[in-house]
Amino acid sequence: MGSKGIFKQDVFGFGIKVVEDICLGFNYLNINYGEMSYYDDHGNLQEGKSGLEIFYFSASKLITLGKNYLSIGGNVKYYNDRISYFKANVIWFDIGVQYRKELKSNNFFTLGISVTNIGNDLKDDNDFTVVRPIKLLRLGMSYNTPQLKSSNLNLLGTIEYQKSLREDEYNYNRWNHVGSGIEIKFKNNIFGRIGYNYDLENVEHKTRGLTYGFGFVTPIEIFTRLPFYLSLSYGRSIKNFHRLDQNVISVEVNFK
């Protein structure tokens, strides 16, 4: 019945390089459902805070072999959901491997594979299933040219395949998807992006369509005594597709 700060979101994260080739990270996400009223077992009116919390603990290892780079990483996620007196929590795992090869003229080819949300369903104390996670297989590759011939343009092309490893009778987790994209960057400062998403699953309403975006990064640091770079980007997700039809604006400040 109450709604103080409803759907307010808080995100916090950081990463640290422990040694030259090992990194650790932490990320916290909180979504506030608001304060809700309920009656306890004795018929007394109570108020309880409701929301969703996810804690991420990450680690990665880089292996360098000449001009070849192999990264292995994983996440441990603690998922905590509460609605007034109702509570449920679970632990999920992600694991991924990325291979990066440096080609001639500083061109790079990258191949990656990951599996996310390995673990059990989110259930309450009465064994009621609250969330069935999508165990998602992702396989992607990219090709990057640092500078095209006789120009100041850089080109990045990507393609990714996603497949749900979980099937159930209600088709809750049906997902079979291909996404592709191209980014063109001018002098490493101004960039434009375009992509297309295609749904391979045999469903009535397919999740597919065109995405696009553009932005810039300041070419030199702002203020020499406190050097930082500013970037601004705009993106448009899949047009005319329900909740995925969104504008996304991002502002980043990077300190040198």
SS3 24: strand
Which DSSP category does 150 fall into? Answer: T
* pLDDT band of 20, cuts 50, 70, 90: confident
* pLDDT band of 2, cuts 50, 70, 90: very low
Q: What is the pLDDT of residues 33-78, one digit of tens each?
A: 877 777 777 778 777 778 889 999 999 999 988 889 999 999 999 9
The pLDDT of residue 157: 96
How many whole angstroms separate alpha carbon 202 and alpha carbon 199?
8
* pLDDT band of 173, cuts 50, 70, 90: low
How many whole angstroms separate alpha carbon 230 and alpha carbon 219?
9
The pLDDT of residue 18: 93
State if pTM tops 0.85: no
Question: What are the backbone dihedrals phi and psi of residue 244, each rounded to the nearest 5 degrees, phi first?
Answer: -85, -5
Q: CA nearest 158: which of 176, 187, 175, 138? A: 138
* pLDDT band of 101, cuts 50, 70, 90: very high
Angle at the Cα of 138 from the Cα atoms of 193 and 121, rounded to 5 degrees: 125
- Cβ pair 187, 154 in contact under 8 A: no
* CA separation, residue 235 to residues 147, 194, 211, 246 (Å): 24, 9, 8, 8
